[in-house]
Amino acid sequence: MNNREISTLMVDSMNDFANLVKLISAERVQHDSVLTERQFVTLSRINMHKKIELKNLSKDLYVSTSSLCILLNKLVEQGYVYREEDPKDRRNTFYCITEKGHVLIKAEVDHLLDVIGHRIEKLDEDKKERLYNCMVESSVIFKELL
């Protein structure tokens, strides 16, 4: 198999996956979700790091710092995130999750897993196992491509 064939298959798979993500996100939001998709992703990423600088969060999410600042300001206003100055360099600001934010992100993640789980329930056991194995193997390969 040549690179072109693999690239074409990857594009098709990315489109299918993007459509699945849109459907799942829409279902998540329909059921009393508090956060927008972008807020959810941002809060999840901050939660993974516990404490992260704006520039590093921007790199992780592949968004500009200016648009991220707007989103973070809203999360701060809502009480889900707080800012912390770097004691070594006051020009650096870290973003951390509040207790209210931890409670919310846990509930949102649980809800998202339920939404995805309901979709997976429709598959027979053989397809579930194949999906699992493909996801594990693909994840390793995708990380090599990053």
Q: For tokens 């993640």, what's the residue?
A: 109
Specify the pLDDT at position 122.
Answer: 96
pLDDT 10s per residue in the chain (146 long)? Answer: 899 999 999 999 999 999 998 888 888 877 777 888 899 999 999 999 989 999 999 999 999 999 999 999 999 999 999 999 888 888 888 999 999 999 999 999 999 999 999 999 999 999 999 999 999 999 999 999 98
Instruction: State the Cα torsion 141-142-143-145 to the nearest 10°.
Output: 100
Token digits of residue 85: 């100055």
Token digits of residue 97: 């999750």
The CA distance from 11 to 66, in Å, is: 30
Class of domain 3-145: mainly alpha
Element (H, E) at 24: helix 3-30
Token digits of residue 12: 């098709």
